[in-house]
Structure 1
């Protein structure tokens, strides 16, 4: 009789703890936010009205900024698309993954760029979030592999996306009626509409058809305002009076169309009663240079007074709009000059959701304290090693209020522009010395116009030493592409 009662008590105890664990899990799921990252393509620091554009109207994005955090010192992981996206996904400098420049198609090249892709073993935000119950989707531009929709290289699903509706690079033939989207490995074919609106349509369709009540991670990667630009005619006509011709009006309308797409998705969430949603809005790099290549005839992006443009290691190449809004939860609201990077998204989302960090060297750090309290002091320097920079200084580092830049020289010769690091130029890069330094106080001189190397020798010595150490570590950890199978 005593044994029977003891057995019953044991069973009841197990049931009790099972219920408690179930409740705890449900509470955890309820607390975990839905997460949306909006990522534009070639949107400059000054291209939103909330960041000072005099003509483009972006009321939906501006509202996100006004009711959330508008960051004035937010940085992309690279000054060009593919490495920037890889950095965002992994929380690591894209050099570590071997993605040094934009990824072209699979045409054979001597420098092995045809092999470049986000490789097996790289751990990403969606894969991390799936371990704590998230459903995940990518809608828009991928551009993280040379062989898109080809089993020879890992595709978005390998990196944790349950659903993907994407293109390799740009929408083709333009943003209007694109025909190069792929949905979960199947070609979609010709579509009617503009890319940013089609991407949001897909996002809402995926949200409508999700099973269960799990939190979601949704990465919305717009093609706009990257060329080939195409915009709704009614918006073009609206901006013609404020522009210097049709081409500029088309660009203005392109950004405005993105804002309308963002507004549609946010209105959908509100209509569905979706609360507790963390929304991030940003760009992959700075604005394109007008007519840099034959198709860049509508590239009228603005830098907001920063130096350089896309493909530069100066501020306009990497400093872009950065907005965070935690809908339905208390958070700090206002403008901040805290230094934040796309590399920080992964560790921040890890801390928020309880997901375990990847067992990799991370270059980002959590800025959850900024979201909660408005205070964040960056500990890790931000280092860019962009060997194809259009400006002379291929190496740059932001730490605190200061930024230092350096050229690379080997045997008395400056390095040429380099698009990939492989066994044919590994020694050239690794044996090069940092030289021709420039130093700027970005709080006092965001235009990088007054070189402080001679006037602030103590700070220069400090920053030079730190750059030598940090760039050395990055160089040591960078992936080198080789002719044999890696």
Structure 2
């Protein structure tokens, strides 16, 4: 694969006389366009990093990103759970508009495949993104960016109309299905590579892993650790990039999501010594979570391991001379989880916020968010700008110099198509005066039947149709429901819900009672 790319590059270098003036101009323009690396981890809470106040876990590389870049204190995921949160990022639509609003999965069927003595599903994945609506990698690819995605896709099942090969991705390696990603030593991973001549997503069988069972003690004899394999593929992809072609990488790492499993190396051993008195967990085979010992050490080790991966990405960019022209973002897809033996209470993982993954309270949706871009972002800056994942599409387009993207890419034949975000590029570049602000932010999630609206300091949570109002200015933990004292505010925020929500037959939520006098 590398030889083909190097030969092609060398060929261009040997025939400069054949380059047209238009090609030369395009190369010059491309050289000036910034690269983007978007690192999104899985289920990391607002308080899981040292730079956000975590006292037990070491994250020196991410902390350095924050000290050299901008740390956001009021950034939000698109949803309190994985697939729909990623959908808001990819579609530029909030969860009242976007097609994928939950973890609807395609893997429970009668057809199976054997890997050694292990039974696995013949088809895996989630509800596909609407193929009629343009997503972020497609837009960037259409405008000259090389695109790579390494980690979780969660935007369609194998063979559907929305897999990486069909949605603007040049190189993909990881999990099509987020349910498969529950195993860190899986039977297979998915690949799509234009450079290798792939015409569709394929499965790469992990031959050393399938010698051992998927569950039980012998599972830990498996040696092919998916997080490391995926990360190495991401590094190899960066190695193939150059200053003449802008690129965007989506590094959607599975760490620190359960299961709690990783190599028993210096990182893990160090935390085993630190958390001498630790917990065990018995496993949950139906969810593909193996039993685990030393749960606190395992969780802390996963975050420090992720931090080491971030450090390697930054080092690779610097070694390639690409660091100064690359915007790097680090964030999480939603709030912390309790799955697989994780213990968010012990670590204070909600960062003093109420709620966990799957809840529209602050703990389920407020996330760490750090942006790093030498010579563009002021080192050590902190921003309290309120924004959500659906703002990243216009931000990336803004940074990439793609103008009027919403007009160009709205599908006029698709009812209600459009985009909900605002670019946060002015804030990144220190131009607060030019920054547009949302009147409100919006979330909904059908599994817990919750809707959330934030307008300024007011936060409305609707649980099974019942509105609850909180003032985040003096109640960040959302303990005191003041809806009865402010019925007018409740009515105004309910009106926002009725404006923003579009019905979805697959992902139904209960709207607030149709009664102007709630109390």
TM bracket, shorter-chain basis: 0.7 to 0.9
Paired residue secondary structure (2:238): helix
Contact 1:97 1:479 in 2 (8 A): no
- Tell me how far apart the structure 2 counterparts of residues 129 and 340 of structure 1 sit (CA, whole Å): 21
| Aligned pairs, number | 419
Q: 1:239 aligns with which of 271, 279, 296?
A: 271
Paired residue secondary structure (1:320): strand
- Tell me how far apart the structure 1 counterparts of residues 178 and 126 of structure 2 sit (CA, whole Å): 16
Residue 479 of structure 1, CA deviation: 6.7
Trace 1:48-127 onto structure 2 (pairs within 5 A).
48-107=49-108, 116-127=127-138
Q: 1:298 to 1:407 in 2, by over 3 A?
A: closer
**Partner residue in 2 for 1:448:** 478
Trace 1:386-425 onto structure 2 (pairs within 5 A).
386-389=445-448, 394-408=450-464
Residue 299 of structure 1, CA deviation: 4.7
Q: 2:304 aligns with which of 240, 248, 256?
A: 256
Residue 161 of structure 1, CA deviation: 0.4
**Partner residue in 2 for 1:187:** 203
Q: 1:303 aligns with which of 328, 333, 350?
A: 350
- Tell me how far apart the structure 1 counterparts of residues 203 and 262 of structure 2 sit (CA, whole Å): 24
Contact 1:364 1:380 in 2 (8 A): no
- Tell me how far apart the structure 2 counterparts of residues 95 and 106 of structure 1 sit (CA, whole Å): 26
**Partner residue in 1 for 2:249:** 218
- Tell me how far apart the structure 1 counterparts of residues 182 and 83 of structure 2 sit (CA, whole Å): 20
Q: 1:382 aligns with which of 441, 458, 469?
A: 441
**Partner residue in 2 for 1:169:** 178
- Tell me how far apart the structure 2 counterparts of residues 448 and 122 of structure 1 sit (CA, whole Å): 36
Contact 2:68 2:379 in 1 (8 A): no
Moved more, 121-130 or 95-104: 95-104
**Partner residue in 1 for 2:234:** 203
- Tell me how far apart the structure 1 counterparts of residues 271 and 332 of structure 2 sit (CA, whole Å): 22
**Partner residue in 1 for 2:423:** 366
Residue 23 of structure 1, CA deviation: 6.2
Residue 63 of structure 1, CA deviation: 0.9
Structure 1 ranges of 4+ moved more than 4 A: 21-24, 170-173, 330-333, 478-481
- Tell me how far apart the structure 2 counterparts of residues 125 and 369 of structure 1 sit (CA, whole Å): 20
Contact 2:387 2:438 in 1 (8 A): no
Q: 1:103 to 1:239 in 2, by over 3 A?
A: same
Contact 1:97 1:122 in 2 (8 A): no
Q: When the two structures are superposed, what TM-score results if normalisation uses the length of structure 1?
A: 0.80
Q: 1:26 to 1:118 in 2, by over 3 A?
A: same
Contact 1:172 1:179 in 2 (8 A): no
- Tell me how far apart the structure 1 counterparts of residues 132 and 489 of structure 2 sit (CA, whole Å): 39
Paired residue secondary structure (2:62): helix
1:311-368 per-residue CA deviation (whole Å, 9 max, x = no partner) reads 1111111111111111353547411111021111101111121223321421211111
Structure 2 unaligned spans of 5+: 1-19, 111-123, 193-200, 209-222, 279-293, 411-416, 508-519
- Tell me how far apart the structure 1 counterparts of residues 321 and 224 of structure 2 sit (CA, whole Å): 27
CA RMSD of aligned residues (A): 2.7
Q: 1:278 to 1:115 in 2, by over 3 A?
A: closer
1:37-87 per-residue CA deviation (whole Å, 9 max, x = no partner) reads 111111111111111111111111111111111111111111111111111
1:3-53 per-residue CA deviation (whole Å, 9 max, x = no partner) reads xxxxxxxxxxxxxxx85x666544432231110111111111111111111
Q: 1:25 to 1:380 in 2, by over 3 A?
A: farther
1:209-259 per-residue CA deviation (whole Å, 9 max, x = no partner) reads 358821101000111111122123222221124434111110100111000
Q: 1:480 to 1:264 in 2, by over 3 A?
A: same
- Tell me how far apart the structure 2 counterparts of residues 117 and 53 of structure 1 sit (CA, whole Å): 36
- Tell me how far apart the structure 1 counterparts of residues 181 and 467 of structure 2 sit (CA, whole Å): 41
Trace 1:422-433 onto structure 2 (pairs within 5 A).
none
Residue 457 of structure 1, CA deviation: 4.4
Moved more, 204-213 or 231-240: 204-213
**Partner residue in 2 for 1:279:** 328
Contact 1:103 1:144 in 2 (8 A): no
- Tell me how far apart the structure 2 counterparts of residues 281 and 38 of structure 1 sit (CA, whole Å): 5
Moved more, 301-310 or 453-462: 453-462
- Tell me how far apart the structure 2 counterparts of residues 252 and 115 of structure 1 sit (CA, whole Å): 29
Contact 1:279 1:327 in 2 (8 A): no
**Partner residue in 1 for 2:362:** 315
Contact 2:152 2:174 in 1 (8 A): yes
**Partner residue in 2 for 1:353:** 400
